[in-house]
Structure 1
């Protein structure tokens, strides 16, 4: 033990020995109303005092009270003191009984209370002294915390205990029972409608929104009020991001667009998910992409037998491989650089690993680009999916989950039509295979590659203009973690043949999204940053749908996941056209692609065919 640590323990024991004897002597004097230190009662106690002192010190030692850092003392330390003193009191009773020098019961009870009080005060005094030293003359940005609930109080405690450069001045909370109260010596100054005035009154420099459970409308309202102050606004991630439930200063970040769009937090059946992932070999295609990499991160939490990262881009795969290898050092990771269009290699990979669970996220997703190169969309989205599905069937895979898109509904683009074909491919495979095949359909994902958000961010950094195709353009949005959590949950519910639909909330106007992002950057739309309308691009629709009129939907046990009712297609036509497309993919003509997709999907309205 270091010399400083040993000296600290000895000093604490000497201090406790003095306090223990002082408490017992005070109990004698109170009991006999005799303040004479040489009374016969006390002279009898002096004879056994060394032994009783050792009994109490031994009890404190056994309860590890000398191994605690008292600068952070709390109710846990107080409870430990009560336990230790109670143990010492019982030891004292046993000793005096055996030595036939009984102490009066009233003295035992009163001294028990006095020792707890004095030892507790000595430890609390150390905590108060350390808190005073931390706060004395402390400088930092004067900070207002919006939310005086558990998260807000944790943030305030962290700000007080760490040199964060932020000085908590007060809370904002709409709970009327908290008004004019103090928490951690920090007052609740008022309700949210007073944010602007209170910021001026208390010279606030930073605002922290600490309400992780708040819905989008509440966050938006608070953000609008905070925006009037022109101050820096930070927030905590939503509950769907704080999976581990921990809240700390390190979680603080600027308000982001997902905070204004988030819906009810995702509630997962962790036991059900663990049941079908734990101990299973899991393969993720497109593992280097935004959706695929997040799937890998979250699957790794549930301790699969091994995780196979399959992707075509070596740099992106390398990045997620290094990240997971560092965070999950005991998880066997396998890396396969392969193209889903390479049928022979895909078969070899599936035979090599025989994965029990497959998440197929690899796809071509850019609508305008796939309009220019429809043959590439067919090769990856349709034939690549077919290669994987057939390989999964041969390898005895238990569950195969296709990541689909809302653009597959009444498709007006090649990308949407090929993703709808991919859904039909896995549904057809489910009819003839022991493997459970399912698809999960959802809309735009904030921050994913190809998402409008990073494009807007770059345009704002350049000073504008921010380009929007049409003022009435609407889209569904989810965050990447939110979408992936629901995909994994849907996978646990797959019985075979389903197309799961994720509840995306209400669609958002793209122009409103652009204006919010400009404001989040501290600028004013149409004043600091112009918004320019460029017209709808080939293959785009004004709004996306999650279901066709024929499909409808039915509920599942998870209130944010629905199942599309099966939509009948001509199987023979589907098989015939797939055969034509797969005979020689290297020589596919655009006309071949459009004719095949139109034959299988009567509702497919190609932009190029309409203008051609």
Structure 2
């Protein structure tokens, strides 16, 4: 029967309408004759000619009314209760037409016959359509994914309605935390307690759980997800209310569980005065504007309505992408903000000065940096050029151009670093600290925080890819831990911290509790409805393998060097007093380091990095790929840290030559 129905549903629309009209005529005739038999309790009226004549007149009138009301334009498989209103109106008019025709023809029957005819017509004409719709939906259930919706509120109700009309999912039950909802019906589905979930999964053969609680807090979502980890089915969710309200998503979109639901915290309402201080009505520049943090800074800066937003990026595609996104954001929010998208490297001071002077920049958020630990470890020279001397050049350009505020985006890897990347970021902090005390033109401050969720190079997207590929998931070490924060929260706190600085401040963001990466991988496996391969469960789905720490990688990250930590007016922003060199001493050091970098003398570079107040303790041998492959002895020659007066004079002469050549080429100069 199901196959026959499927064949009928596949017929051309015109043929299906003809079949509906013919079936309705038969049903209306049967309803009329049935009404006569039920009321008169005999068969004699059926054999009278005027009975059939009345039916011949009434049936076409009814069909014409149905056509006029658009009844045959409705698709049976998607028919709704509104169609019953059309049927009711049609059979009511049909009953009136029947009564008038019977009176004109002298057909004697009780006045209740048209009423019984109307009820039978409503039951047969409307009932058969809902019967066919039920058969069709039942046939689809064989191919649909059975789901349980967690959350019986407005979002869950809307989701159930949307999915019922789709071809992919079929809701079978609701789950809700509120006891008052238990046992009630929502959209025809019973609401159960969370304790009933294991039984429902087994009884209905549920394939997945959809979390429909877009307005709940992240803390509560995290609790719910942890309670669902033990179930052998995947858990998915619908977008958060912020995405729905902003138009970035629809309420019935189904997504994988976001890592923010596992790790993210509920944000604290921002201090609007701090957000406005360095942005509203001012010209703001963001370096590294196409990066993870840089792009989010731009999005949030736009909402604070600066006069200009100057985007500086060395990657053409990244600059194109963020400019296009920001222009759409400005248009959608009817903002009047001018965006200047500019290519350039922060290592080129003349270019930076030209941009700052041209647009009269007042605030700089310096987010441009090489941040991937293994890559910088393998490219030491370029990592130092960009992270250290890039910061030096843009900072000195800011001073020369009378920029009001300079905010350095730093990292927790700058604390007692075991890698070159972290050491370069600590040197960048030292530059800002020294310059803050050396001049009064520009106010410098630094904001230090840990990993951000979803950034380029983050383990989370990698884990998702590995799970979809069937594993294994690669973790460097069983005990490795990291701090995590969402990108929007980090960017918002950077802006607020930057407004608190008095000059030379090192701000540290409260990252919450550190997360063990191996446990994060296990959570992601379980919430995907899969089992981990272990010694006790060799038949599982995905294994976790440990690849060993990469060059320069630490087991545990820290956020502070010293212990003198002070709480600020914001509960998630702290300030720390960190040791640093004065500008004359740091400047002399940077000149030596520049000589070592210019000549790619890696042993000398390492010694100099250890000499600075960075607490750098390399975790292994030099990992620079060029240095490892190079056989030229001069390149591997170790320069002494303390030179004789003659050697120092020669070195200074060489430095001046290098600086002059670099300046002539528009390059880095000290």
C-alpha spacing 1:427/1:545, structure 2 compared with 1 (3 Å): same
Instruction: State whether residues 446 and 505 of structure 2, in contact with CA within 8 Å, keep that contact through their aligned partners in structure 1.
Output: yes
Partner of 2:182: 179
CA-CA distance at 1:242 after TM superposition: 7.4
The RMSD of aligned alpha carbons is: 3.4
Partner of 1:157: 158
Partner of 1:540: 553
* Aligned equivalents of 1:378, 1:468: Cα separation in 2: 28
Is 1:574 equivalent to 2:578 in the alignment? Answer: no
* Aligned equivalents of 2:225, 2:580: Cα separation in 1: 47
Partner of 1:67: none
Equivalent positions of 1:277-292 (< 5 A) are 277-292=279-294
Instruction: State whether residues 258 and 479 of structure 1, in contact with CA within 8 Å, keep that contact through their aligned partners in structure 2.
Output: yes
C-alpha spacing 1:519/1:591, structure 2 compared with 1 (3 Å): same
SS at match of 2:557: coil
CA-CA distance at 1:218 after TM superposition: 4.5
C-alpha spacing 1:269/1:169, structure 2 compared with 1 (3 Å): farther
Instruction: State whether residues 291 and 318 of structure 2, in contact with CA within 8 Å, keep that contact through their aligned partners in structure 1.
Output: yes
Partner of 1:489: 496
Partner of residue 413 from structure 1, selected from 402, 419, 432: 419
Equivalent positions of 1:546-561 (< 5 A) are 546-548=559-561, 550-561=562-573
Instruction: State whether residues 427 and 614 of structure 2, in contact with CA within 8 Å, keep that contact through their aligned partners in structure 1.
Output: no
Is 1:498 equivalent to 2:511 in the alignment? Answer: no
**Range that drifts further, 481-490 or 232-241:** 232-241
**Range that drifts further, 583-592 or 513-522:** 583-592
User: Would you say how many aligned residue pairs link Structure 1 and Structure 2?
Assistant: 477
CA-CA distance at 1:560 after TM superposition: 1.4
Q: Deviations over 1:176-198 (max 9, x none)?
A: 34434566x56672332222223
* Aligned equivalents of 2:241, 2:265: Cα separation in 1: 11
* Aligned equivalents of 1:496, 1:582: Cα separation in 2: 26
TM-score, structure 1 as length reference: 0.70
* Aligned equivalents of 1:297, 1:602: Cα separation in 2: 33
Q: Deviations over 1:79-109 (max 9, x none)?
A: xxxxxxxxxxxxxxxxxxxxxxxxxxxxxxx
Partner of 2:517: 510
Partner of 1:235: 237
SS at match of 1:263: coil
Q: Deviations over 1:465-519 (max 9, x none)?
A: 3222211111111222222222223223333322221111111111112222333
* Aligned equivalents of 1:605, 1:348: Cα separation in 2: 39
* Aligned equivalents of 2:229, 2:614: Cα separation in 1: 49
Partner of 2:360: 354
CA-CA distance at 1:326 after TM superposition: 2.5
* Aligned equivalents of 1:229, 1:584: Cα separation in 2: 58
Partner of residue 268 from structure 1, selected from 267, 270, 276: 270
C-alpha spacing 1:156/1:495, structure 2 compared with 1 (3 Å): farther
C-alpha spacing 1:343/1:272, structure 2 compared with 1 (3 Å): closer
* Aligned equivalents of 1:212, 1:265: Cα separation in 2: 15
Instruction: State whether residues 232 and 526 of structure 2, in contact with CA within 8 Å, keep that contact through their aligned partners in structure 1.
Output: no
Instruction: State whether residues 230 and 526 of structure 2, in contact with CA within 8 Å, keep that contact through their aligned partners in structure 1.
Output: no
Instruction: State whether residues 414 and 422 of structure 2, in contact with CA within 8 Å, keep that contact through their aligned partners in structure 1.
Output: yes
Is 1:590 equivalent to 2:590 in the alignment? Answer: no
Is 1:368 equivalent to 2:374 in the alignment? Answer: yes
Is 1:467 equivalent to 2:469 in the alignment? Answer: no
* Aligned equivalents of 2:254, 2:405: Cα separation in 1: 38
C-alpha spacing 1:265/1:195, structure 2 compared with 1 (3 Å): farther
C-alpha spacing 1:251/1:395, structure 2 compared with 1 (3 Å): farther
Instruction: State whether residues 180 and 187 of structure 1, in contact with CA within 8 Å, keep that contact through their aligned partners in structure 2.
Output: no
Instruction: State whether residues 378 and 593 of structure 1, in contact with CA within 8 Å, keep that contact through their aligned partners in structure 2.
Output: no
C-alpha spacing 1:434/1:155, structure 2 compared with 1 (3 Å): farther
**Range that drifts further, 262-271 or 333-342:** 262-271
CA-CA distance at 1:213 after TM superposition: 6.0
Instruction: Specify every segment of 5 or more residues in structure 1 that has no aligned partner in the other structure, as ranges.
Output: 1-70, 72-131
Instruction: Specify every segment of 5 or more residues in structure 2 that has no aligned partner in the other structure, as ranges.
Output: 1-79, 81-128, 138-143, 534-539, 624-637, 639-670
Partner of 2:445: 438
* Aligned equivalents of 1:413, 1:512: Cα separation in 2: 25
Partner of 1:311: 313
Instruction: State whether residues 346 and 388 of structure 1, in contact with CA within 8 Å, keep that contact through their aligned partners in structure 2.
Output: yes
SS at match of 1:328: helix
